[in-house]
Chain A
């Protein structure tokens, strides 16, 4: 690999940007493809293949028009943004870390989002819309809202719905969900758009305790990330 190519790759990794290294096996010629970018300047078939590989999170050989190309996927780390530093978040955040993902807990209520309650977890006390904008929502990000306070949850859901995040979950009973759907509807998100929101949140595993609810939420995140069968159920 050429030095400048390596430098570009390292810069993308440092910026937590998904990138695919495409190497022509016959010639050794290599280039970087940003699978979730606009694909400008990239041969369309190569771009599509790189994107698919990145979405599957799986490096692979690809038969291109000019021969075999090895698509090496360097995906940005999966990140779960939890909005609401509530007690379920206290269980969920360390579980997300154990699963190998990045986690950020956002709550403008400083008395909830404290280091004492979330040891070793990245916290943000910005309002969710500001926090999510700073974090930069992408295809490798999941957003879960947990405050039950529309004032805090709704700006997060709006930001998530306007982005490409792979998962959106909203904690709350069926009644809370109906009220949420009505509010988001008034903001211009029709049923199809809102179908992306998983609510009530989590897989139906009969969770009762706080930690069990966290397991059910994390399971749903994994299912949506990996395209598991469970992700196919209607949210």
Chain B
């Protein structure tokens, strides 16, 4: 069995686990990001405490990769701050674009997406949940009066696939 097969199994398992799928019991702040080329759509909802993610839920309309990435966040996003979320997003990008092995902290398990490096057209699917989390967290922090650093990467997404100019919409409920 090749490494890719192992990763494939891990991706399917991760997607099926659907950790964090659904809504938070007490409504938080949410952000939706989509991929206009394939229609994948991710809504991430967070509640913050002390400037960090206290709870996360997500709703995914999309492919297995998108579901797997959201599920990984469902497993491990609690406790992350804005800087860490941005660092994770950059790690995912570096893994997908350059094959750079991702660090095991603060979010373990990112290496499962290594095979997607060979499929540029699907990389946005992996990135969507991370971008939705960044947007939701930023909105939640603003809501809480804890405006974090205005990170250019979150609003303009200059490094994202130029064709995939996904829109971000946030809703505070």
A235 close to B (CB within 8 Å): no
Q: How far is the CB of B23 from chain A (nearest CB, A)?
A: 16
A110 touches B61 (CB 8 A): no
Within 8 A of B (CB), among A173-220: none
Q: Across the interface, which residues of A come within 8 angstroms of B62, CB to CB?
A: 151
Residue from the list A109, A127, A149, A151 in contact with B36, Cβ < 8 A: A109
Other CB < 8 Å A-B pairs besides A107-B39, A151-B63, 19 of them?
A108-B34, A108-B39, A108-B41, A109-B36, A109-B37, A109-B38, A109-B39, A110-B34, A110-B36, A110-B167, A111-B36, A111-B37, A111-B163, A127-B39, A127-B41, A127-B61, A149-B38, A151-B62, A152-B39
Near B by CB (< 8 A), chain A positions 81-118 give 107-111
Q: Collect the chain B residues with CB atoms within 8 Å of residue A111's CB.
A: 36-37, 163
Query: Interface residues of A: mostly helix, strand, loop or mixed?
Result: loop
Within 8 A of A (CB), among B33-50: 34, 36-39, 41
A111: nearest residue on chain B (CB-CB)? B36
Q: Which B residues are in CB contact (< 8 Å) with A108?
A: 34, 39, 41, 61
Chain B residues with CB under 8 Å of chain A are 34, 36-39, 41, 61-63, 163, 167
Q: Which residue of B lies closest to A109 (CB)?
A: B39
Which residues of the partner chain B approach A109 to less than 8 Å between Cβ atoms?
36-39
Interchain pairs with CB closer than 8 A, number: 25
Chain B neighbourhood of A110, CB < 8 A: 34, 36, 39, 167
Interchain CA distance A127-B37 in the complex, whole Å: 13
Interface size on A, residues (CB 8 A): 9
In Å, the complex CA distance between A149 and B34 comes to: 17
- Docked Cα-Cα span, A127 to B61, in Å, equals 8
A107 to B39, CA, bound (A): 8
Name B164's closest neighbour in chain A (CB-CB).
A111
- Residue in A closest to B165 when the chains form the complex, CB atoms: A111
Residues of B within 8 A of A127 (CB): 39, 41, 61
- Residues of chain A with a CB closer than 8 A to B63's CB: 151
**CB nearest to B38 among chain A residues:** A109
CA distance A111 to B61 in the complex (A): 17
| Residues on the A chain within 8 Å of B167, using CB | 110
5 A-B pairs closest in CB distance: A108-B39, A110-B36, A111-B36, A109-B39, A127-B61
Which of B34, B39, B41, B163 is the most central at the interface, judged by chain A CB atoms within 10 Å of its CB? B39
List A contacts of B36 (CB < 8 A).
109-111
- CB of A220, distance to nearest CB on chain B (Å): 26
Contacts of B34 in A (CB 8 A): 108, 110
Closest beta carbon of chain A to B171's beta carbon, Å: 16
Enumerate chain B residues within 8 angstroms of A149, measured Cβ to Cβ.
38-39
In the bound complex, residues from chain B placing their C-beta under 8 Å from that of A151 are: 39, 62-63
Nearest chain B CB to A86's CB is how many angstroms away? Answer: 13
Name 25 A/B residue pairs within 8 A (Cβ), A-sorted: A107-B39, A108-B34, A108-B39, A108-B41, A108-B61, A109-B36, A109-B37, A109-B38, A109-B39, A110-B34, A110-B36, A110-B39, A110-B167, A111-B36, A111-B37, A111-B163, A127-B39, A127-B41, A127-B61, A149-B38, A149-B39, A151-B39, A151-B62, A151-B63, A152-B39
